[in-house]
Structure 1
Amino acid sequence: MNWEQLLSLKRYGDTNKRLRKEQDETRLGFEVDYDRIIFSSEFRSLQDKTQVIPLSQTDFVHTRLTHSLEVSVVGRSLGRQVGLRVLEKHPHLQEVHGYQANDFGAIVASAALAHDIGNPPFGHSGEKAIGQYFSKGKGIAFKNQLTLKEYQDLCDFEGNANGFKIATQSREGRAGGLRLSYATLGAFTKYPKESLPKKPTTHIADKKYGFFQSDKEAFLDVAKDLGLKPTRTGNDASFARHPLAFLVEAADDICYTIIDFEDGINLGLIPEEFALEYLSKIIRSTIKPENYYALSTREDRVGYLRALAIGSLINEAVDIFMKYEAAILDGSFSTALLDKSQYEAQINDIIKLSVENIYQSKEVVEKEISGYEVITKLLDTYISAVNNCYENHASNYDKLILKTLPKSIKVNDDKLYNRVLSVCHFISLLSDSNAILSYKRLMGMTL
């Protein structure tokens, strides 16, 4: 893979090549991506979607929206620093093509901003609830009516693939979805493969999948333009990651490791003294004890440590990326950047503590249980109504349900997969509160 192709400014529907040196510096294409994401309705709904604590009423706990903004900020710093060093190593990118360090930052910031845009209500438990409906619930009845890959898409419903759908799916009046640059779409796709074969190798890019069968052609077009390296032959679409996807992943890893830890402390789920204990090795070269002990509130003290830790991990991730740049470009680099970190043990200790004290806390578990019930009810009701209507034996109840669904639901599509996936996609776009409100309406609890 080569940087000239990987930094493609192409968008869906383009007939002429966009050249970096001809870009308007006041309205740069990669920065337009950021604008289009942040003004999208799908991004706005993240303000009411779970990050750590589902449906938390506290002021300082992160939602998917605040998490995404923070990941984007970290991603921009990672991208800019990598951009400076890539341009030093490959000066023709700047001298001949006109690329700047900030281009790398803008691509990573945009992809990072969108990295959770496809997540359904109730966080990862929402993904699992949708998948379980098809693998163990009533949706198992569709198994023999779908191809193996179509059925696997549903059984392992994936927020990353759903995000790619949001970014690229045409709808009435909006051809090409958000029409992001292909460079940003490539950086966004952490798992550039389809749902089968499942985890064929231990390579980080094979951990999950990145696009549904319905969006396979769109992804293949992106992969071809970017020159992504195929990693499998035959009918199984699989590619090496876009190099900047490693930076998007690193930004997310840094934020959820450090900031979720911070949330746990501010919520009282983790003792404050653990902050200094667990972060001390990461920040030992930058901390100024006199500044730390001068802070009078827990939030300020923990915030100070968090800022230093993030800065330290950003610098290290950039060093790791550049050390392995050649392997990343040829697709042989097989782990997350932070898996090569000198602080891997400390990072793993923090994640373990967060899992035990936050992710498995009673409040989280109880609300995830509620999320399963809500999503299962919505899936069962909406899918039944859509399929009954298609088969011309809809009940009066089914007809009423259909009146509450948007036109994007493919009621008349002859392909079962498209009908069912459109329902899953619709539910995935609901905020936590709207999903609960829809559930209450179906249960007659709002009368």
Structure 2
Amino acid sequence: MSERKPTLWSESRRPRKGEEEAGGTEASATIDEGDKLSWRSVFQRDYDRLLFSTPVRRLSDKTQVWPMDENDGVRTRLTHSHEVANLARSLGSRIATQEEGLFNADLHRTIQPILWAIGLAHDLGNPPFGHQGEAAMGRWFKDREAWIFTHASEEDEKGFAEPIPEKQRLEFTKFDGNPQTLRLVTRLQTHAHGLGLDLSAATLAAMLKYPVSAENRNKDVPAHKKVGYFETERDIVNWIRDETGLKEGQRHPLTWIMEACDDVAYSILDVDDVMKKGIASPEDILSQMGAEDRLKDHACVAKIREAFRRVDEAKHGVFVARDIKIGYMRAYLMEALLDEAAASFIDNAAAIFAFEGGMLPILEESVLCNFLKSVAKDHAFSNPGVLKSEAVGAEAISHIMSFFWASIRDREHNDDIKSCRMTAASKFAWSLVSPNYIEEAARCITKQTPPQRIRYAEMRLLTDMVSGMTDSFAMKLWGDIRALPKC
């Protein structure tokens, strides 16, 4: 068997059970036996596997910014993710066309499908209610940090012989959807060999937005400021790095493109929703752009102003004219930011392909992008309806986590996560936990597992369950919990 060399574009898939002992991954090194004559590349199949997965469908009922029940024309996490995927493919194509040979990989069979895949997947691990949901989950653990990482219960006086390490506690107190995404696609989806969606090494590497563990998190380095993968996925990350040649802290080059397109989507399309909801008009946004000294002479401002003039001359109805103007503004802003992002990536290509972790995101210093983010902050994220939804969602998550934690802990045998629940409420909660999440937790708990590792697996199961919920499911469950009789 020939030894494969690491490559950023590794088509390898993780070994099936038994292949590790056999000393190789030849059967899964490139493409599955049944697909050797397929027109689809390994990376095109990665995208397809994601597209048809349950976590992607659930994004349709997860908040982007606006509450889910107010306006079905504004964006959800699903529409946002499709837009990021489309923008990433477009940006990658621009860069590859302008700087031929930069990626040293086929544009259509490798670059585009990986960007499609990671754009679609980038928010899969986000809990209900967006970033406020992440904050609420972290706060739940923070409120209990005096005992949950060190003792069996709040009343326990002795504590674990070996508490959960301080740095590792950040996986919970600073809960983030990015490492949950990696866990979701590699561990938690059902698979005959326990491989999740069984994605290629290159796609998984590009999916790692923050390529560091809790031990190496560094809030002063943008690419390292958050936990990028959990301890439970360390073995998978080690395999990814063996296949791609990347090391701790090193980002895959395509990750920079996905991050930039997420910024483009947030900055432009959140403002797009602000206009669609009538909170600010296209003319309001254009006027603000013209009033900014560093923006008023930007080429896209002149293009937008001229497009608006043509719309006004056509004498459309008020609402039709508004929608046409929104479309023009979106298109010209998107074109401008993608041009900026492509130029920035090419200018920084040497550092990106040298895997320098200290770089700023490629749109970090974009005047246009930062202006649009400030508009979204003023008109969307500070909107009373949005703030109310976030507050309600945070309260719901807090109660839901307590409800499931009681069920996880209330079992007959501590070393058997599947053992009988002791109360009716615990049995009800346990019946709602996804069987594949329980299977994964059971894999980590045996009679030989030390107490602190059992606790870690319990907390991981809790975050798996809650982060996987949709907004509607969480709100309905919160209502069901409140309706239960209090003992």
Question: Do the two structures share a fold, i.e. TM-score over 0.5?
Answer: yes
Q: Does 1:255 align with 2:273?
A: no
Structure-2 residue corresponding to 1:185: 204
Look up the SS of the partner of 1:301 in the other structure. Answer: helix
Structure-2 residue corresponding to 1:324: 348
Deviations 1:382-434 (A, max 9, x none): 11111121448833432332233232233683511111211211111110000
Look up the SS of the partner of 1:141 in the other structure. Answer: coil
- My pick for the range that moved more, 43-52 or 56-65, is 56-65
Structure-2 residue corresponding to 1:435: 474
Partners of 1:227 and 1:353 in 2: CA distance: 41
CA contact (8 A) 1:134 1:140 kept: no
Alignment partner of 2:92 out of 51, 66, 79: 79
Partners of 2:392 and 2:132 in 1: CA distance: 10
**Judging changes above 3 Å, is the alpha-carbon distance between structure 1 residues 379 and 245 closer, same or farther for their aligned structure 2 residues?**
same
Structure-2 residue corresponding to 1:194: 213
Structure-2 residue corresponding to 1:235: none
Give ranges in structure 1 of 5+ residues lacking alignment.
231-237
Structure-2 residue corresponding to 1:265: 275
Displacement, 1:272?
3.0
**Mapping for residues 297-312 of structure 1, pairs under 5 Å:** 297-312=321-336
Partners of 1:47 and 1:172 in 2: CA distance: 21
**Judging changes above 3 Å, is the alpha-carbon distance between structure 1 residues 162 and 430 closer, same or farther for their aligned structure 2 residues?**
same
TM-score (norm 2): 0.81
CA contact (8 A) 2:253 2:353 kept: yes
Structure-1 residue corresponding to 2:132: 125
Displacement, 1:77?
0.5
Q: Does 1:57 align with 2:70?
A: yes
Letter in 1 for 2:174: D
**Mapping for residues 17-36 of structure 1, pairs under 5 Å:** 17-18=29-30, 26-36=39-49
CA contact (8 A) 2:126 2:177 kept: yes
Displacement, 1:139?
5.7
Partners of 2:6 and 2:274 in 1: CA distance: 43
Cα RMSD of the aligned pairs, angstroms, is 2.6
Partners of 1:23 and 1:325 in 2: CA distance: 34
**Judging changes above 3 Å, is the alpha-carbon distance between structure 1 residues 104 and 286 closer, same or farther for their aligned structure 2 residues?**
farther
Structure-1 residue corresponding to 2:195: 176
- My pick for the range that moved more, 401-410 or 175-184, is 401-410
CA contact (8 A) 1:153 1:195 kept: yes
- My pick for the range that moved more, 319-328 or 119-128, is 319-328
CA contact (8 A) 1:79 1:109 kept: no
Which segments of structure 1 move beyond 6 Å, counting only runs of 4 or more? Answer: none
Displacement, 1:345?
2.3
Question: In percent, how many aligned pairs have the same letter?
Answer: 28
Partners of 1:376 and 1:401 in 2: CA distance: 15
Alignment partner of 1:283 out of 287, 300, 316: 300
**Judging changes above 3 Å, is the alpha-carbon distance between structure 1 residues 58 and 395 closer, same or farther for their aligned structure 2 residues?**
same
Displacement, 1:240?
1.2
Letter in 1 for 2:476: L
Displacement, 1:51?
0.3
Alignment partner of 2:363 out of 334, 338, 351: 338
TM-score (norm 1): 0.87
Partners of 1:103 and 1:299 in 2: CA distance: 36
- My pick for the range that moved more, 276-285 or 77-86, is 276-285
Q: Does 1:142 align with 2:159?
A: no
**Judging changes above 3 Å, is the alpha-carbon distance between structure 1 residues 61 and 445 closer, same or farther for their aligned structure 2 residues?**
farther
CA contact (8 A) 1:164 1:189 kept: yes
**Judging changes above 3 Å, is the alpha-carbon distance between structure 1 residues 59 and 395 closer, same or farther for their aligned structure 2 residues?**
closer
Partners of 2:284 and 2:13 in 1: CA distance: 47
CA contact (8 A) 1:50 1:122 kept: yes
Pairs aligned (count)? 423
- My pick for the range that moved more, 274-283 or 159-168, is 274-283
Deviations 1:276-310 (A, max 9, x none): 23556261475553555446431221121111111
Partners of 1:225 and 1:51 in 2: CA distance: 34
Partners of 1:105 and 1:116 in 2: CA distance: 19
CA contact (8 A) 1:282 1:309 kept: no
Structure-1 residue corresponding to 2:171: 153
- My pick for the range that moved more, 398-407 or 81-90, is 81-90
Look up the SS of the partner of 1:273 in the other structure. Answer: helix
**Judging changes above 3 Å, is the alpha-carbon distance between structure 1 residues 6 and 292 closer, same or farther for their aligned structure 2 residues?**
farther
Alignment partner of 2:372 out of 333, 350, 356: 350
Partners of 1:307 and 1:356 in 2: CA distance: 22
Displacement, 1:176?
1.4
CA contact (8 A) 1:199 1:208 kept: yes
Give ranges in structure 2 of 5+ residues lacking alignment.
17-24, 151-162, 290-295, 415-419
Partners of 1:210 and 1:76 in 2: CA distance: 23
CA contact (8 A) 1:75 1:109 kept: yes
**Judging changes above 3 Å, is the alpha-carbon distance between structure 1 residues 170 and 264 closer, same or farther for their aligned structure 2 residues?**
closer
Displacement, 1:75?
0.6
